[in-house]
């Protein structure tokens, strides 16, 4: 009931909108205010805002995803808001769910009439919708891994296709002109923006924002890295404490931990599909690949698997966990309708690598995870091929050239540390070869025999 009451408090929603807009809005950078809200909401929003900007100061501007992800958020008028009324800017846009419905209808008409006259226009509209959905996924991942403040309900009815103000001004469209023929007005706008229109994703309905603790963010990126890069199920199970999914009594019991690893491996083989394998046929702990093969996450199997694991190991599923899964599952479902080959983990993985190298929270868990990924377990030295694979993965899945990735690595905290250690170890190995494989080695041996 507390969450229902919170959603009905429109002052709280207004504060949520201003907070979200300050992080992601492309139109304005509204500074947060401290209008009267419920005490808990006010304290939470201010605390999260301060936490966000402390992290942003630690991060290099070239690698800060917030600077690259900008969506449309309505302007709020807090002086007019009450507990039961929220006054905000009107956002003129089309819901993504309506865009998908229109696409299906056009496809039905096209199949019935065998008419390909508007094929280019349909493909252009589909590409715009695909780009908007990807903006939504990138924004959700940024909320999950960067800011820790997540829009709790990003379904197709709360996401809009919005034509930017800049584009409207550039095309000299007078929005203040009252045209009695609305259809003609819409057609005129569409024709004038057909080739030059710039669209952004719009967010509405901020009744609930989920807060993701920084320790959970760190645990999540480490779990994704261990799962995709190392395919280490045991390491993933060990991170469930940071993810706040299991009580300490389970993690501290060796027998329970061993049972958890077995069950987790079985569960992951059902929800993750590698290279198109059938569900339940892949043991990810034995899957070997020269490059990081990213599996497909089956959201339709996720709840089924969780329903089996939750009572067995006393899983604790906080609201933000379910909200995150629902948000990504909804957006991926929309993306797959447009592009069946879309894989949300391919978007998540580059975020993970960046956070491993940046480590803005200075988490020892992140440091230890990165070290375990690139360190030889026998010699304890950095493996050059693992570092190279990490860079190749970041370049391939993010779409950035390797030169830029290497430049960003050298700017990051953990990246500099890894490079210094690798150079030091490589130099020492070269010195040892010179000392012990040449005449100097034999001379020193004869000397110490005297």
Distance from CA of residue 221 to its chain's centroid? Answer: 10
Using alpha carbons, select from 195, 193, 224, 202 the residue that is nearest to residue 98.
Answer: 202
Q: At what angle do helices 439-449 and 413-436 cross, to 10 degrees?
A: 70
Tell me the per-residue pLDDT of 400-411, one tens digit each, with 9 for 90 and over. 898 998 888 888
Using alpha carbons, select from 432, 334, 361, 424 the residue that is nearest to residue 54.
Answer: 361
Q: pTM for this one?
A: 0.73
Coil, helix or strand at residue 88: strand
Q: Do residues 235 and 226 lie in contact, with contact meaning Cβ atoms separated by under 8 Å?
A: yes
- Close Cβ partners of 253 (under 8 Å, ≥ 6 residues apart): none
**What stretches of 94-181 adopt beta strand conformation (E)?**
94-95, 149-151, 159-163
- What's the pLDDT band for 247 if we cut at 50, 70, 90? confident
> Residue 38's CB: how many other CB atoms inside 10 A?
15
Query: Residues of the chain with pLDDT > 90: what percent?
Result: 6
**What is residue 153's predicted lDDT score, i.e. its pLDDT?**
78
| DSSP secondary structure string for all residues of 311-334 | HHHT----HHHHHHHHHHHHHHHH
Written as six digits, the tokens of 425 are: 């170890």
Tell me the per-residue pLDDT of 56-79, one tens digit each, with 9 for 90 and over. 544 444 344 455 677 888 888 888
Give the mean pLDDT of 138-166. 82
- Close Cβ partners of 254 (under 8 Å, ≥ 6 residues apart): none
User: 318-347 as b/e, with b when 16 or more CB fall inside 10 Å?
Assistant: bebbebbbebbbbbbbbbbebeeebbbbbb
Q: What is the CA radius of gyration of the chain?
A: 26
Burial class (CB in 10 A: 0-12, 13-18, 19+), 159: buried
Written as six digits, the tokens of 27 are: 């139109």
**What is residue 436's predicted lDDT score, i.e. its pLDDT?**
64
Q: What are phi and psi of 82, to 5 degrees?
A: -130, -175
- Close Cβ partners of 168 (under 8 Å, ≥ 6 residues apart): 175, 193
**What is residue 422's predicted lDDT score, i.e. its pLDDT?**
87
Give the mean pLDDT of 370-395. 90
Q: Do residues 24 and 139 lie in contact, with contact meaning Cβ atoms separated by under 8 Å?
A: yes
Query: What are the Cα distances from residue 201, in Å, to 53, 133, 328, 349, 404?
Result: 23, 8, 16, 22, 27
Residues 394, 410: Cα–Cα separation, whole Å = 14
**Lowest-pLDDT range, 107-121, 137-151, 320-334, 396-410?**
107-121
Q: Do residues 200 and 71 lie in contact, with contact meaning Cβ atoms separated by under 8 Å?
A: yes
Residues 103, 122: Cα–Cα separation, whole Å = 8
- What's the pLDDT band for 364 if we cut at 50, 70, 90? very high
Coil, helix or strand at residue 234: helix
Using alpha carbons, select from 208, 229, 180 the residue that is nearest to residue 393.
Answer: 229
pLDDT at 382 over 70: yes
Q: Do residues 150 and 320 lie in contact, with contact meaning Cβ atoms separated by under 8 Å?
A: yes
**What is residue 366's predicted lDDT score, i.e. its pLDDT?**
92
Which residues is 364 bridged to in the sheet?
none
Residues 110, 117: Cα–Cα separation, whole Å = 9
- The rounded mean pLDDT for the chain is 74
């Amino acid at each position: 009931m507390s969450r229902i009451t919170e959603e009905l408090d429109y002052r709280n929603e207004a504060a949520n909108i201003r907070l979200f807009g300050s992080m992601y809005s492309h139109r304005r950078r509204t500074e947060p205010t401290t209008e009267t809200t419920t005490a808990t909401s006010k304290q939470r929003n201010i605390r999260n805002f301060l936490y966000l900007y402390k992290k942003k100061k630690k991060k290099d501007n070239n690698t800060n995803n917030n600077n690259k992800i900008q969506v449309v958020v309505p302007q709020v008028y807090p002086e007019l808001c009450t507990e039961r009324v929220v006054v905000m800017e009107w956002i003129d846009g089309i819901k993504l769910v309506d865009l998908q419905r229109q696409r299906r209808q056009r496809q039905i008409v096209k199949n019935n009439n065998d008419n390909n006259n508007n094929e280019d226009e349909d493909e252009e509209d589909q590409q715009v919708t695909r780009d908007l959905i990807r903006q939504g996924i990138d924004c959700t991942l940024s909320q999950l891994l960067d800011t820790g403040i997540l829009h709790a309900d990003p379904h197709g009815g709360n996401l809009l296709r919005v034509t930017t103000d800049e584009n409207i001004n550039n095309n000299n469209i007078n929005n203040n002109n009252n045209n009695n023929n609305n259809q003609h007005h819409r057609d005129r706008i569409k024709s004038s923006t057909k080739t030059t229109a710039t669209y952004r994703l719009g967010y509405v309905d901020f009744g609930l924002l989920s807060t993701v603790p920084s320790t959970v963010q760190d645990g999540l990126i480490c779990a994704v890295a261990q799962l995709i890069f190392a395919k280490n199920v045991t390491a993933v199970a060990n991170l469930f404490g940071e993810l706040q999914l299991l009580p300490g009594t389970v993690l501290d019991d060796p027998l329970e931990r061993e049972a958890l690893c077995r069950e987790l491996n079985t569960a992951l083989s059902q929800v993750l599909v590698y290279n198109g394998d059938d569900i339940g046929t892949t043991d990810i702990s034995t899957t070997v690949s020269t490059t990081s093969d990213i599996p497909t996450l089956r959201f339709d199997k996720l709840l089924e698997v969780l329903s089996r694991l939750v009572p067995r190991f006393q899983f604790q599923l906080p609201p933000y966990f379910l909200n995150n899964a629902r948000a990504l599952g909804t957006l991926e479902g929309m993306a797959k309708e447009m592009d069946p080959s879309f894989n949300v983990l391919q978007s998540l993985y580059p975020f993970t690598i960046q956070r491993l190298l940046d480590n803005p929270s200075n988490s020892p868990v992140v440091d230890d995870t990165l070290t375990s990924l690139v360190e030889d377990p026998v010699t304890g030295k950095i493996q050059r091929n693992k570092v190279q694979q990490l860079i190749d993965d970041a370049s391939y899945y993010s779409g950035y050239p390797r030169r830029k990735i290497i430049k960003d690595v050298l700017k990051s905290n953990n990246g500099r540390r890894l490079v210094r250690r690798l150079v030091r170890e490589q130099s020492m190995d070269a010195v040892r070869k010179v000392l012990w494989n040449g005449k100097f080695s034999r001379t020193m041996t004869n000397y110490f025999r005297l």
